Amino acid sequence: MPAVVIGLADDPDQLSQDLQSPYPILPVGALFSASERQHLSDQYTPVEFAAACKPRFLNAVFARYPTVETLLYADPNVLFLHSTQPILDRLRNQTLLLTPYLLQAPGDTGPGKKAWPDEKHLQNIGLYNADFLAFTRSTETTQLLSWWQSRAETRAYIDFCKGLCTDQIWLMHAPVFFGGITIVHDPSWHVALWNLPQRQLHQRETTWQLADNGQPVLFVNMKGLFNPDEGFFPHQTRLNPAKRPDVMALLQAYRQQVAAKELAALTAIRPAYGMKPLLPVVRGWRRTATTALTALNKWVDTIYLPALPR
């Protein structure tokens, strides 16, 4: 059994006394001085705060478990459906494994084709998903984490115009700055909302397979499926889960597993860190209205205004 550690980007005092975690919890307070933590908390939203802390968590886990040679990071929305052995096999002699959001062009964007997210939105958030990362202990990994930490802690803002998007967009530099970076092109890895339109699943007893080749699915990411407001694609138009029995079955099974862990008591707790407010996701008529008004703004910017007589 692999050792599991939960990095808590929150205040552990918020947890109920009788909550028993089967896994050791490493609180963010153990990584930063109170003033450093406060500084990060003040400048970021909760999402940005957690992202800014990620590289330091990874460094801390390597330091606390000195005999550990491989380290997998998974977002809490990830669910492993298969042994991690294929991941460990790919990791041999590598620094870092990266999984792209998409392994092929969606083919449904561009003039007259309005599917969203389009590829240019992916450029804004980064093409490699930071919700799953696999590292081996090495000098190269130490250098990568040290660089990533310096960037993510100071620049984890979501600000597309400045080229910023959490810890994730920085990973675009990883394959060019560091050696031993593998971009994994295997569709059985990291199955999720954004790639399910290109991947049909098939349930076979307790395992899940890719329908077209029977390959077992290694892990899925339920971000944006479990909670549609979470993640970078709250307005995605490609996947309608209701029309995908495979996705509905997977989601149903996941919901049951999460419910068994007493979710309700925890979801009511507001994050203690990340003081900048998150913009709520708007839907329905509000969404239609904001989209129309944004288009109106663009029109005002570009419309020809005749010179006024002096």
Partner 1 sequence: MTLAFTICSINYLAQARTLGDSLRRTNPDYQYVIGLVDKLSTANLPADLVPDYPMLEVDKIGIPDFQAMCDRYDITELNTAVKPFFIDYFYKNRPEATAVIYFDPDIIVFQPLTELNKALETNSLILTPHTCSPTPDWERPNELHHLNTGVFNLGFIGLRTDKIARAFVDWWKERLVYECRIDLCEGLFVDQHWVNFAPAYYQNVCIDKYLGYNVAYWNLHERQFSQRPDGTWLINETDELRFFHYSGYNPFRPDDISKYQTRYTFSQRSDVKPLFDLYCRELLANANEQYTKYPCVYIKPPTIKRYQRVRKAIKLPINRLISLLQHR
- Minimum CB distance to partner 1, residue 269 (Å): 22
Among 23-31, 170-178, 200-208, 261-269, the segment contacting partner 1 (CB under 8 A)? 170-178
Site string for partner 1, 234-273 (x = CB under 8 A): ----------------------------------------
Q: Site for partner 1 (CB under 8 A): which residue of 49, 132, 135, 170?
A: 170
- Minimum CB distance to partner 1, residue 293 (Å): 5
Token pair 């991941």 is found at 87
Residue-wise over 123-152: b if at least 16 C-beta within 10 A, else e? ebbbbbbbbbbbbbbbebbeebbebbbebb
SS3 content of the chain, % helix, strand, coil (to 5): 40, 15, 45
Q: Give yes or no for residue 127 binding partner 1 (CB under 8 A).
A: yes
Our CB check for partner 1 shows the closer of 112 and 214 to be: 112
Q: Which amino acid is at 125?
A: I
Number of H helices, E strands in the chain: 9, 13
108/106 Cα distance (integer angstroms)? 6
- Minimum CB distance to partner 1, residue 307 (Å): 7
Q: Site for partner 1 (CB under 8 A): which residue of 177, 248, 252, 259?
A: 177
User: Could you count the other beta carbons within 10 Å of the beta carbon of residue 117?
Assistant: 20
CB 57 within 8 A of CB 26: yes
Q: Give yes or no for residue 176 binding partner 1 (CB under 8 A).
A: yes
Q: Which amino acid is at 85?
A: Q
Residues that bind partner 1 (CB under 8 A): 100-105, 110-111, 119-124, 127-128, 147, 151, 155, 160-164, 169-170, 172-173, 175-177, 183, 185, 279-280, 282, 286, 289-290, 293-294, 296-297, 300-302, 305, 307
